[in-house]
A = this chain, B = another copy of it.
Amino acid sequence: MSQIYDRVALIGLGLIASSMFWAIKRAGLAGEVTGYARSEATRDTARRIGLCDRVCDTAREAVECADLVVLCVPVGAMGAVAEDIAAVLKPGATVSDVGSVKRHVIQAVQPHIPEGVHFIPAHPLAGTEHSGPESGFAELFDNRWCLLVPVEGSDPDAVARLRALWEGMGSSVDEMDADHHDLVLAVTSHAPHLIAYTMVGVADDLRRVTDSEVIKYSAAGFRDFTRIAASDPTMWRDVFLSNKDATLEILGRFTEELFALQRAIRTGDGEHLFDYFTRTRAIRRGIIDAGQDTDAPDFGRGKASS
């Protein structure tokens, strides 16, 4: 793989940024990768483990002379970071991000992007339950989708170059507009996360069942929910606050359907339940056929246990 950018700056050094660094290095996609994190402890950790070619003490220093700047901070912090670095952005550079919400990020970041700098929002659909600079690994994006969300007037050459970077990091790349992105993600990620958080919270509240029982006997089902509900609280707070409308729409539909199933349970309508459960099985089949998960037996123990 050949070099795509001379210099890449990663702002924020959590799971996604650290994985990007290792994936860029694996394929030799950039000459130098600089990094910045707000917390001194994170910068120290990054220096200790060799994360980034150069870790800078300010975002501005990291961004200077960069051909690509990727904002890898929580969605709620994107606007302030963009404002901070705007004055030192190199003419012709590209600014991108990895936020899970796109409409809100565009509203927060675009006003700060100077004339002559390209802004191309992006969202890699990859993650684990872990966070922080030590959680990254080069393979995170392999065979996962990265969605580019070009804004009006995005330069096609700059978009093609960013696409090449993500493909070089192992991703498949698609483009869509911001509102559709936010709705698709509300269905496939944001609402499921809120639901998982809720169910885990309910278990914690229920005093007739002790915490130790919930933990000890957590079978498939709840155990998968706890994995989802272990994701970074700051990131997810920002996701829900900034993708409010789409998330609330999906949750509204969810509640409606849940009430219908509850009524079927209460009235003993087994046929309704059976038909519903049969339909959802087909969707699972589709995901496996699309190569987005495996159906290998996991010995009832969850991920990566083999």
Contact = CB atoms under 8 A, between A and B. Distances in A.
Given A219-B127, A220-B189, A283-B214, A206 B253 contact: yes
Interface in A97-149: 125-130, 135, 137, 139-145, 147
A12 interface: no
A280 B204 contact: yes
A203 B253 CA distance: 9
B255 A255 contact: yes
A154 interface: no
7 contacts: A145-B217, A197-B261, A201-B280, A230-B284, A233-B281, A296-B305, A298-B303
A222 B187 contact: yes
A188 B250 CA distance: 24
A188 to B, nearest CB: 4
Given A244-B265, A297-B137, A233 B187 contact: no
A248 B265 contact: yes
Interface residues of A, number: 116
B183 A290 contact: no
A39 interface: no
Oligomeric state, in copies: 2
A194 interface: yes
A42 to B, nearest CB: 19
- Interface of A (DSSP majority class): helix
Interface string A190-234: 111111111111111110110101111111111111111111011
Interface of A: 76, 125-130, 135, 137, 139-145, 147, 174, 180, 183-185, 187-206, 208-209, 211, 213-231, 233-234, 236-238, 240-241, 244, 247-248, 250-251, 253-255, 257-258, 261-262, 265-266, 268, 270, 273-274, 276-281, 283-287, 290, 292-306
Given A206-B250, A224-B227, 14 more contacts: A125-B217, A125-B219, A128-B220, A174-B216, A197-B261, A203-B283, A226-B280, A233-B278, A240-B273, A241-B273, A255-B255, A296-B303, A302-B303, A304-B304
